[in-house]
Chain A
Amino acid sequence: PASSPPPPPALPAAPTTPEAGTAPQGLRGWLRSAYRFATDRNDFRRNLLVNLGLFAAGVWVARNLTDIDLMAPQPVP
């Protein structure tokens, strides 16, 4: 009886780059969770961070932009 032909040699596996494949997934996932955190109005920590930033901005405005003379004469055109 004829012997069965030998199985074809296994083709080499397609080249994979595990680091490049998972890094975009990890970065994308991080960006997605960061976006969700930044837009979740019910998150206490997010609201605290936003209001802390606003407080710092308010202090900067108070120290730098409020030294105005309301009774100064109008500039002559």
Chain B
Amino acid sequence: MGNVLGPGAPWAPRRGEPLGSPGSFDELHRQCKEVFPQQMEGVKLIVTKTLSSHFQVTHTVHMSTLGPSSYHFNATFVGDRQLGPTEAFPMLVGDMDNSGSLNAQVLHLVAERIRTKAVFQTHQAKFVTWQFDSEYRGDDCTATVTLGNPDLLGESVILVAHFLQSVTSRLVLGGEMVYHRRPGEEGAILTLAGKYTALKWVATLNVGYGGAHASYYHRANEQVQVGVELEANTRLQDTTFAFGYQLNLPQANMVFRGLLDSNWSVGGVLEKKLPPLPVTLALGAFLNHWKNRFHCGFSVIVG
């Protein structure tokens, strides 16, 4: 009878399961990283207002205990082409703070399988980052090329190339090559990557000349998720280990994230929704036993 989908379909030969798209290289460790709490200090107020189905603005006021306080204004525009619940094209995002520093991103779907992105960052009036990348998403592979801070006059550039291939429905293999060039200096670093996705857990490993990054994500049940991470940097001669967990209690409108790492840091963030108001309250505290440092914070998110 043959393959009913035709000779070109990327089917795994033994299991007969379709090979999914491996996604983006930057998102290999995303599931594990989302379990860990974000550092919080001071008081933060975030107010989000959706003006239409395409436009949304956010005001963020941060009263900091470690540095100067700040205000950020963020505007997001999304177009009509929706590929998924969180993917719509084109997308324009701009964030400006009280000192005039800008962070802007433009994402566009050039063709059905080709997406492009441009990122600009300024520190007050000076451009710090200008980056352009294009990504090809096939049925079972992803290829990305990124140009970082290209400067024709200064003859400097950073070129990053990623490739991921779904070998089976669960195994993704790929690599990254980073090439940098400045007057009188150039170099390249190659990193290999692999990701295995099982029913309840995901294991990811990046290994290269600059070091290694391993992560393990485990979904114990609907309430408990755990992440374990190991990073080794041969250039800085440093290694770190981190253990994080996330507790979801939708009946209580609550999410708790905890962290323990090899730098003797312990921390946690509690997020509680306050229905029927569209308000989320977040409380966080982090303690570094070795350096004897403690900081805590809370934030109120409206909208």
A interface residues, Cβ below 8 angstroms from B: 44, 47-48, 50-52, 54-55, 58-59, 61-63, 66-71
Contact = CB atoms under 8 A, between A and B. Distances in A.
Contact of B241 (A44, A54, A62, A63): A54
Contacts of B240: 51
B145 interface: no
Contacts of A71: 223, 249, 251
The 8 A-B pairs with the shortest beta carbon distances in the complex, nearest first, are: A58-B228, A66-B220, A62-B226, A62-B218, A51-B241, A55-B230, A44-B237, A54-B241
Nearest to A60: B228
Interface string B68-102: 00000000000000000000000000000000000
Nearest to B236: A44
A59 B239 contact: no
Given A59-B216, A70-B247, A71-B223, 12 more contacts: A44-B234, A44-B237, A47-B239, A50-B262, A55-B216, A55-B230, A62-B216, A66-B218, A66-B224, A67-B220, A67-B221, A70-B249
A52 B230 contact: yes
Interface in B165-224: 201, 214, 216, 218, 220-221, 223-224
B241 A68 contact: no
Interface residues of B, number: 26
Contact of A55 (B226, B228, B247, B251): B228
Contacts of B241: 51, 54-55, 58
Interface of B: 201, 214, 216, 218, 220-221, 223-224, 226-230, 232, 234, 237-241, 243, 245, 247, 249, 251, 262
A54 B262 contact: yes
Nearest to B252: A71
A69 B221 CA distance: 8
Contacts of A66: 218, 220, 224, 226, 245
